[in-house]
Structure 1
């Protein structure tokens, strides 16, 4: 009986030991499985991270490659090294080697002006002064007469563009695109009737650079035909950026006035633009509004910053404006009528009485109203644009 009991007890112990070993084996197996799973998960996460970094690196490389290979629209078929993005008005020889007396680009400036043959003597004086100061000269002929300018020595070195009865702004919009004139540091866009006895282009540019004027004009001799008080020369200063005085119709320019025509303003007869400001002004010129009226009040938006500082009138280099307007005058009316034969039934007396200038002035006023209307509409519709001069006088 005792032996039987012993055998049962031994069997029970062996069974318990077997159960313990199985449990231990199961726990060890489970631990090994969990550890392996954790190691596998970590390894997988590490591989995923490395793949993400590699993919990101590839994307950055791809983007960098795309940026490196990006070209201007229309030039995709060309290798980048052959693309010539800008131009100028420098004349090139047809034969032989280039006589390339390389002028410093910093000294290259452009004079562009409308001119009729009746003002040839005054235009000659202007051009001579500018060419002596290393300017490129471009003449816009509004009367269709070009060959008669060949009597002047400089004519063969100037650029001549002819279009009958077109204005300065019509020519500028079509022939002075920013990419074409980007080689020129300053662009003088002048009328033909300015007298320059007291004006030196070189000294003028020195002052403009020193004072960092992006948009400017020479002051007018007080004896000139005047439109706006801010243009009148002050003989006691080198330049001025504002005026303080009582204006017509009760308007007053004060020390704290911050807008045209008290400050940040030049007239349209003799403006001078920096390269950067012209890039903006060209886009401001409306293609169909050729008289340019109203633009003078908005030029300050192109001043590359604060118009009260970057726009000014230079007093020490000044011009005289006699007010001899020939474009659209009686003489021009006769020429155009004769050329087009539109006035065959009109008598000479009727042509003389035709007040073309009054008609042009009315058209200019109409253009100005349209221009301001377009500006107002553009401001209202452009949600991305903020007026830097909002609520400023």
Structure 2
């Protein structure tokens, strides 16, 4: 081959004479490539992290939070609020305008709520004084709008006063004793004003019903001094508590195996005592427009937080006197009618007179009485309609319905 056709071979790194010189150039180049690789990876990782954080911010948008918090139980209407700012319950405790409130004597208090009129102020004063030493909050429902004359009583300013003319205890209770308002009270005493408490000790009563597990209860009535409407409320001597009554003869018989009120699982409406849980259930059963609440007593056992034949009872050892004074629609001084008999009607209406004579008092009271019976029938009609309309409801006392059909 001629010299003109020979290839010129040029070394990669110039004219290197030995391998040592070549290594001194290759090693630094390799190190430079490694450094570029690692720094480039770090930059890529940083960019990825930023991108991931941006996606997390997007994923915490309101829509995603809604998906994540669907199971959270919050009161209706509080959706725009942060959860911990929502206070679902309250109480009836008064707070000072400045400074710190007085230290509570006990962590748990109880509530005494009474419908009152000025004519029974002396009776109510004795009743309230019995309760105050046992850390009760007192609430008076004034149905005669007379509040000022109570101010001479030493405890008046520490009580809660609510006034509405000619309204019943149950009207007040439905509007001012919502379960979330009285949730701080262990027991709610919802009493009438015409009760004698000479033989009643609230502290011992509370101890007994807690020990006996009574969710709904009442003190027994002194059978000699009281107006007794139902046998089960009458005091049994040498007994602490009874949960049923016996009546083998006559109308409304009660036997050992009787399962329905008023034989068992029943208290009367003049002096009921509810646990917090029982009241929460019972309040929802009180009808907004049926202010006398007749018929409700027959269904209170459904709110007994279990077996009504065990969790509803009458306390014999701590008993009261039911004076049976006609107050709403009456003079409030003398008994002017037979309480165990429905008022007579003429063409479907109760006769009344426009004068303020004693006969007018009787007529007004008779109309109140008749309205009570009317509301009882209406409540039981609503109950029956609710039972037939609720296909998911299971009656815990099916035997009662069976007995009614026989």
Relative to the length of structure 2, the TM-score reads: 0.75
For 2:234 and 2:170, the matched residues in 1 are separated by 24
Instruction: Find the partner of 2:79 among 76, 81, 89.
Output: 76
Deviation digits for residues 187-207 of structure 1 (CA, Å, limit 9, x no counterpart): 000000000000011100000
The aligned counterpart of 1:55 is: none
Query: Structure 1 residues 377 and 245, CA, compared in 2 at 3 Å: closer, same or farther?
Result: same
The aligned counterpart of 2:89 is: 86
The aligned counterpart of 2:345 is: none
The aligned counterpart of 1:364 is: 372
The aligned counterpart of 1:123 is: 124
Deviation digits for residues 181-239 of structure 1 (CA, Å, limit 9, x no counterpart): 00000000000000000001110000000000000000000111110000000011101
For 1:348 and 1:178, the matched residues in 2 are separated by 40
The aligned counterpart of 1:11 is: none
The aligned counterpart of 2:139 is: 138
Deviation digits for residues 305-362 of structure 1 (CA, Å, limit 9, x no counterpart): 1000000000000001111121211469xxxxxxxxxxxx944437646522211111
Q: Is the 8 A contact 2:220 2:315 kept in 1?
A: yes
Instruction: Find the partner of 2:102 among 78, 100, 103.
Output: 100
The answer on 1:215 being equivalent to 2:216 is yes
Judging by fraction of residues, say which structure has more helix.
Answer: 1
Q: Is the 8 A contact 2:354 2:360 kept in 1?
A: no
Query: Structure 1 residues 79 and 62, CA, compared in 2 at 3 Å: closer, same or farther?
Result: closer
For 2:355 and 2:242, the matched residues in 1 are separated by 50
The aligned counterpart of 1:246 is: 248
Query: Structure 1 residues 359 and 74, CA, compared in 2 at 3 Å: closer, same or farther?
Result: same
Deviation digits for residues 144-201 of structure 1 (CA, Å, limit 9, x no counterpart): 1000000101000000000000000000000000000000000000000000000011
Query: Structure 1 residues 388 and 327, CA, compared in 2 at 3 Å: closer, same or farther?
Result: same
For 2:358 and 2:223, the matched residues in 1 are separated by 36
For 1:354 and 1:267, the matched residues in 2 are separated by 24
Any idea what SS the aligned residue of 1:293 has? coil
For 1:355 and 1:242, the matched residues in 2 are separated by 36
Task: Report the Cα offset of residue 74 of structure 1.
Answer: 1.2
Any idea what SS the aligned residue of 1:202 has? helix
The aligned counterpart of 2:170 is: 169
Any idea what SS the aligned residue of 1:253 has? coil
Instruction: Find the partner of 2:386 among 347, 372, 378.
Output: 378
Any idea what SS the aligned residue of 2:203 has? helix
Query: Structure 1 residues 77 and 261, CA, compared in 2 at 3 Å: closer, same or farther?
Result: same
5 Å-filtered alignment, 1:41-60, equals: none
Query: Structure 1 residues 371 and 85, CA, compared in 2 at 3 Å: closer, same or farther?
Result: same
5 Å-filtered alignment, 1:1-393, equals: 65-66=68-69, 71-95=74-98, 97-106=99-108, 108-223=109-224, 224-246=226-248, 248-249=250-251, 251-330=252-331, 346-349=354-357, 352=360, 354-392=362-400
For 1:373 and 1:83, the matched residues in 2 are separated by 39
For 2:165 and 2:303, the matched residues in 1 are separated by 30
Q: Is the 8 A contact 1:193 1:324 kept in 2?
A: yes
Task: Report the Cα offset of residue 369 of structure 1.
Answer: 0.5
Relative to the length of structure 1, the TM-score reads: 0.77
The aligned counterpart of 1:5 is: none
The aligned counterpart of 1:42 is: none
The aligned counterpart of 2:337 is: none
Count the aligned residue pairs.
Answer: 319
Query: Structure 1 residues 349 and 311, CA, compared in 2 at 3 Å: closer, same or farther?
Result: closer
Q: Is the 8 A contact 1:196 1:320 kept in 2?
A: yes
Query: Structure 1 residues 255 and 144, CA, compared in 2 at 3 Å: closer, same or farther?
Result: same
Q: Is the 8 A contact 1:330 1:355 kept in 2?
A: no
Unaligned ranges ≥5, structure 1: 1-57, 333-344
Any idea what SS the aligned residue of 1:243 has? coil
For 2:195 and 2:330, the matched residues in 1 are separated by 17
Unaligned ranges ≥5, structure 2: 1-58, 334-352
